[in-house]
Structure 1
Amino acid sequence: MPDFSCRLSETTTPLTHFWEHTVGSDHAPVALRADWQAQLRRCHEDLGFRYVRFHGLLSDDMGTLIDHDGKPLYSFFNADQVVDFLLSVGMRPFVELSFMPEALASGYKTVFHYKGNITPPKDYKQWATLMNRLARHWVERYGVEEVREWFFEVWNEPNLPAFWKGTQADYFKLYRHTVEAIKSVDPALKVGGPATAKNEWIEEFLEFCEKKKLPVDFVSTHHYPTDALGNEGDDTETQLATSRRAVLREQAQDTFRRARGKPVFYTEWNASSNPRDARHDEPYAAAFVAKTILEANGLVEGYSFWTFTDIFEENYFPSVPFHGGFGLLTLHGVPKPAYRAFELLHRLGTEQLLVDGIHETVSVWAVRQETSVTVLATNHALPRHSIKGETVDVRISEAREPRHVHVERIDEAHANPQRAWREMGAPEYLSALQLEHLHAVSRMAREPLPWKYDNGVVHVEIEVPPHAVAAITVVFA
């Protein structure tokens, strides 16, 4: 039986809720949709997300810069509409500066069905002019104190040919022109990079900036436990099976060491990079999310999950309610198990206790608040690795007698709307009654949990199925 214990009198470690700093989305035009906005508002209110990051702010479908009768035509109207909405709900943009406007592009290579141009600028000075005008416009519109709270990230995954047709040197040149243009508006505006996949280019990027005396306000990169850029037909199960259970923690530790004291922001991560991975809709993702986040405490300033919604059209716009999309919410706004994991994490306090105990698949954390402590347990293993249901024994010592103890669960039988959808026959288009039922079964329930108290020790036992999360809250008198 897995056995874990903690002492309430122990010195705690700060739990900063770094995972709530930013969340990811698709590309800028979807941020103009009413359903996207409604879902983001809900995520902000329920899960605490403060910034949102998306591709394509500079692409032609946003109209930011186009060639009109042989002359550059700037229009920040659509970008402003997105920012206005974010500020109206208490959020801010984590600005990814991509992709290349056709008017500035040196070639015609594009990515995704919406054809984001991935070529370097034909004239870096014209690119710098765009950066300067955009930053200046936002400072004039929203005020310098507000825009100083934003983050400007230069490009997306320039180390992958799918996103950047230039060289590493070309990207560094892009960064130099970008940071100089934005900082010329106000030196306190925050600019960073290299926004790479697979934790790459960090040393080279920082060495370049040091050599050229360029400011770097933060280091950003991405990671997944699978290939960096997933495809619908990938053998994701094999990729995950040959990965390591704590690989993202190991990578975050390495990035933290290589960042030379700069704040580290992971601006993309998920259980896999496959945009059609059924595990994204299953309790597997909830266990992966909770475990991965809590293992990253103290290593990163921000940990931006990719993505908050399945309103997402990189390859095509889907219609199947559960199609393995990246999102925490389905197309219809039904919370997936991973959403509920973020909900449990949001409710945690900020004082993490040291927990003694180790197990092959079960991990346990304890977080203290003024009148309670929450013990969060996950039972997780990668595909094709051994896992079974476990009876987990938890002891909390140096504690007062509890007033009550309850548990909230995410597993095959709890907060799992995909299962209910399959039992309906997996309809592609939902009726209003079917949608109402899926919302109902997606909810977590608080159930009383038996406990014992003896000589200052609270003792509970709980069954944790495979690929599950259980949050035990002990409330003291």
Structure 2
Amino acid sequence: MRKRRNFRYFAIFVITLSLPVTIFLLNRKTSFFEKAYFNFSGREANLVVDLSRSYSFVPHWKYLAQGGEDKNDMLTPVIQKVKKIEPYYIRIDHIYDFYDPISKDTGGNLSFDWGRLDIQIKIIQAMGARPFLSLSYMPKALSQRTETDLPYSWDEWKTVVQRTIEHVSGNRGLAIAGVYYEVWNEPDLFGGFKLSGPKNYLTLYEYAEKGAKDAQDVLPFAFGGWFQDFFDYALKNDLRVDFYSWHRYSKEVDDFENDIENVNLWITRYPKYMNTQFIISESGHNSEIDEGYDTNFSAIQTLAMYAATFQKLPIVFLFEIKDGRGQTKNWGRWGILTNESFGDPEEKPRYKAIDFLNNLDWKYYPVEGSGTWVKAIATKSASGNVVKILVVNYDPYLSHSESVPITFNNLPFKNFTFRRSNFLGQTIETEVSTNSLSWTTEQFFQTNSAAIFELIPR
């Protein structure tokens, strides 16, 4: 009896001691159990590239976003470095509260001075890109209190949007075709907008849409906004929605893929909007300051994310272009370039990831067999002769390495140079001759590494 009682006391003692450890493990941001499940349930890759079929594509990684780090000369110091990676679009927000284009005269009438905003737009053009403008935040001349508050007059908000579009996209203004206009930036966070109540995003969007509809003598442009559930309201009120945008920050590449699956599912409820374009207008691995943004971690996550979303989403903006000013050069800010306060802005690893992706061009080949950690994109060069495949092994928990079989079917040539160019590493070449239409190689990848392989005919 005493032994049984002693055992009971011992069990209670062990459970009491282990409880804090269990709670710690359960509450860690990257939990022990989550990591274990990820490692044990994952699927290794077996890549197969079909070289008999190729398709045109538009790179979805040539889209960059800049946050409101500085009101003055935010992008001027990095024009040439950004131009080098050939962006298609650059997104900026704070266009109304940073550059103060709207005021009121003594009679209370709206007055417009676009000079400071034009400087930013012309910088974007100097980088070889077009502007993607987030219509934010509320102009001081209109706001009831702060830049994230409601306007005194919804009709004035409508007029501001109309005049913005007429100036940037209008034939009598800057005459830029293909500009995107996004209604507000993160309305649920900056302003606390909801889909009901006094601070209603539906009203904000509706009056902005009326302004877009009233814009005269303008070149083609795209207009859209946030909040999945506002499509019910848009349908009921016959509102224009060219695109639907959202932000995604996550170390888990699956989260990006799940987003895409979800929006493609729920949009089927709205046949009128089936052609709506889906856009991630900010992306990264963490929405907070994170030292990973200064290391290869963010670069490999970026490569894996773009490989996983390739041909699933047309546009994914990378946030952001340039770090804000900090106490040190590297302080975990989101920029792909450092701030000029510490000398000439330096290219961070994520910048080099975009440059690495730019080696892929012209047409893509179907690739099957990606796994949990390994993602791939296969392309052929503009000459049509060189086959390229980007392979990325990404593990957010920094532990998984993998030997990856890569099979090329329907080879267009029998003798070729096989080149492996490691991301931020060495290049290795071997000569290959084969009489088969298929050729397989097995390539080893350390945790969080990437390479581009080329088949160069000779």
TM class, shorter-length: 0.7 to 0.9
Question: Residue 455 of structure 1: which of 425, 429, 435 is its match?
Answer: 435
Deviation, 1:54, is 1.5
Q: 1:354 to 1:299 in 2, by over 3 A?
A: closer
Aligned ranges for residues 37-436 of structure 1 at < 5 Å? 37-46=76-85, 48-59=86-97, 61-66=98-103, 71=108, 72-108=110-146, 117-139=147-169, 146-160=175-189, 163-169=190-196, 170-186=200-216, 189-195=220-226, 201-202=227-228, 204-225=229-250, 240=251, 244-259=252-267, 260-274=274-288, 276-310=289-323, 312=324, 317-331=325-339, 332-369=344-381, 370-383=384-397, 386-388=399-401, 390-399=402-411, 400-410=413-423, 415=424
Structure 1 unaligned spans of 5+: 109-116, 196-200, 226-239, 416-443
Partner amino acid, structure 2, of 1:19: W
Q: 1:97 to 1:86 in 2, by over 3 A?
A: same
Q: Given that residues 137 and 148 in structure 2 are in contact (C-alpha distance below 8 angstroms), is that contact kept between their aligned partners in structure 1?
A: yes
Q: Deviations over 1:176-232 (max 9, x none)?
A: 11121122123765343323xxxxx21x2222111111111211111122xxxxxxx
Deviation, 1:252, is 1.4
Q: Deviations over 1:90-146 (max 9, x none)?
A: 3221011101122211233xxxxxxxx2111121111122222222333457658x4
Once residues 301 and 5 of structure 1 are traced to their aligned partners in structure 2, the CA distance between those partners, rounded to angstroms, is: 24
Question: How much is the aligned-residue C-alpha RMSD, in angstroms?
Answer: 2.6
Once residues 301 and 193 of structure 2 are traced to their aligned partners in structure 1, the CA distance between those partners, rounded to angstroms, is: 35
Once residues 263 and 173 of structure 2 are traced to their aligned partners in structure 1, the CA distance between those partners, rounded to angstroms, is: 34
Once residues 89 and 335 of structure 1 are traced to their aligned partners in structure 2, the CA distance between those partners, rounded to angstroms, is: 16
Deviation, 1:172, is 1.2
Q: Given that residues 404 and 474 in structure 1 are in contact (C-alpha distance below 8 angstroms), is that contact kept between their aligned partners in structure 2?
A: yes
Give TM-score, length-normalised by structure 1. 0.76
Q: Given that residues 277 and 324 in structure 1 are in contact (C-alpha distance below 8 angstroms), is that contact kept between their aligned partners in structure 2?
A: yes
Secondary structure of the structure 2 residue equivalent to 1:103: coil
Once residues 269 and 396 of structure 1 are traced to their aligned partners in structure 2, the CA distance between those partners, rounded to angstroms, is: 32
Partner amino acid, structure 1, of 2:145: G
* Corresponding pairs, count: 396
Once residues 73 and 247 of structure 1 are traced to their aligned partners in structure 2, the CA distance between those partners, rounded to angstroms, is: 44
Report the equivalent of 1:6: 49
Q: Given that residues 417 and 455 in structure 2 are in contact (C-alpha distance below 8 angstroms), is that contact kept between their aligned partners in structure 1?
A: yes
Deviation, 1:460, is 3.9
Once residues 140 and 245 of structure 1 are traced to their aligned partners in structure 2, the CA distance between those partners, rounded to angstroms, is: 39
1:27 aligns with 2:68: yes
Secondary structure of the structure 2 residue equivalent to 1:18: coil
Give TM-score, length-normalised by structure 2. 0.78
Deviation, 1:360, is 4.1
Q: Given that residues 29 and 62 in structure 1 are in contact (C-alpha distance below 8 angstroms), is that contact kept between their aligned partners in structure 2?
A: no
Once residues 171 and 41 of structure 1 are traced to their aligned partners in structure 2, the CA distance between those partners, rounded to angstroms, is: 38
Secondary structure of the structure 1 residue equivalent to 2:319: coil
**Percent pairwise identity:** 19
Secondary structure of the structure 1 residue equivalent to 2:119: helix
Once residues 218 and 359 of structure 1 are traced to their aligned partners in structure 2, the CA distance between those partners, rounded to angstroms, is: 30
Deviation, 1:359, is 4.0
Q: 1:464 to 1:333 in 2, by over 3 A?
A: farther
Q: Deviations over 1:334-364 (max 9, x none)?
A: 2222222211222212433233435442233
Secondary structure of the structure 2 residue equivalent to 1:254: helix
Deviation, 1:42, is 2.4
